[in-house]
Chains A and B, each alone.
Chain A
């Protein structure tokens, strides 16, 4: 399979993830959609680096995984704190900055 096929699949997954971030109101599902977008980027990096006969893209994927793990810990901490404060994880309830 050529590199274009992998890039198309990666872009489809990325768009689905972005759609989830934009249309869902559940904080946990928004977070999972973010993970989908991370994974789409990873797939693109691995495919291109395999096509160009390089390793650098694969190293980058490892760092993306590190960032995703750190982000998971922080984001779920925020989710728990938000739930404790509001009693729900509906992101429309996070409106205290609104005038």
Chain B
């Protein structure tokens, strides 16, 4: 498990770096798919196989297919010529180094809360993580679940309106 964690973190961080540095957006998209698969590996290590399957199906499947389709619609040779601004990159890197230092300080200096719940890994593996997630989703979280359906309806209408020729 320890070795798998390091392997997945190296793959994830490397592919995330490649996503933001590659010139060709199609290469970035393929590295992003690799990043999503490595993150699904993290979920498997954490005993959440259902979420790993959702990650591969929804992110690496649906969303990335949509992205690649849109890249296909656009003119790739024109997109590749977009120049980066060195001054902007410099400021962004400094901001992000400070942000990362703050987050790491917060994580390492803080003290962890004691585990409070009853859903230990043994219980989740005994009952099955899909069943537990389903029970929570349709009892305690039924209202957010219904709101999510309205959000998806709004997204369908919005995407249609944006893609229309004339407003």
Q: What is the number of residues of chain B that contact chain A, defined by CB distance less than 8 Å?
A: 85
Question: Given that A39-B39, A51-B112 are known contacts, is A28 also in contact with B148, CB under 8 Å in the complex?
Answer: no
Nearest CB in chain A: distance from B29 CB, A? 7
Residues of A within 8 A of B43 (CB): 46
Residues of A within 8 A of B103 (CB): 11, 14-15
Give the distance in Å from the alpha carbon of A51 to the alpha carbon of B42 in the complex.
14
User: When the two chains form their complex, are residues A22 and B92 in contact, meaning their CB atoms are under 8 A apart?
Assistant: yes
Contact of B155 among A26, A35, A70 (CB under 8 A): A70
Give the distance in Å from the alpha carbon of A61 to the alpha carbon of B29 in the complex.
22
User: When the two chains form their complex, are residues A18 and B36 in contact, meaning their CB atoms are under 8 A apart?
Assistant: no
- Chain A, Cβ-Cβ closest to B165: A84
User: When the two chains form their complex, are residues B66 and A50 in contact, meaning their CB atoms are under 8 A apart?
Assistant: no
- Chain B, Cβ-Cβ closest to A79: B70
Nearest CB in chain A: distance from B30 CB, A? 11
Residues of A within 8 A of B100 (CB): 11-12, 15
User: When the two chains form their complex, are residues B162 and A80 in contact, meaning their CB atoms are under 8 A apart?
Assistant: yes
Residues of B within 8 A of A62 (CB): 51, 54, 133, 137
Nearest CB in chain B: distance from A70 CB, A? 4
User: When the two chains form their complex, are residues A47 and B136 in contact, meaning their CB atoms are under 8 A apart?
Assistant: no
Question: Given that A32-B32, A51-B115, A73-B66 are known contacts, is A19 also in contact with B92, CB under 8 Å in the complex?
Answer: yes
User: For this complex, into which size category does the number of interface residues on chain A fall?
Assistant: 35 or more
Contact of A25 among B84, B99, B133 (CB under 8 A): B84
Residues of A within 8 A of B89 (CB): 23
**A97 contacts the other chain (CB 8 A):** no
Give the distance in Å from the alpha carbon of A87 to the alpha carbon of B82 in the complex.
12
Residues of B within 8 A of A47 (CB): 42, 46
Query: Interface on B for A, CB 8 Å cutoff?
Result: 1-2, 5, 9, 12-13, 16-17, 19-20, 25, 28-29, 32, 35-36, 39, 42-43, 45-48, 51, 54-55, 58-59, 62-63, 66-67, 70-71, 73-75, 78-79, 82-85, 88-89, 91-93, 95-96, 99-100, 103-104, 107-108, 112-113, 115-121, 129, 132-133, 136-137, 140-141, 144, 148, 151-152, 154-156, 158-163
Can you spell out 13 A-B residue pairs with CB atoms less than 8 angstroms apart? A12-B100, A19-B20, A20-B19, A26-B25, A47-B46, A50-B47, A62-B51, A66-B152, A73-B156, A77-B158, A77-B163, A79-B74, A89-B79
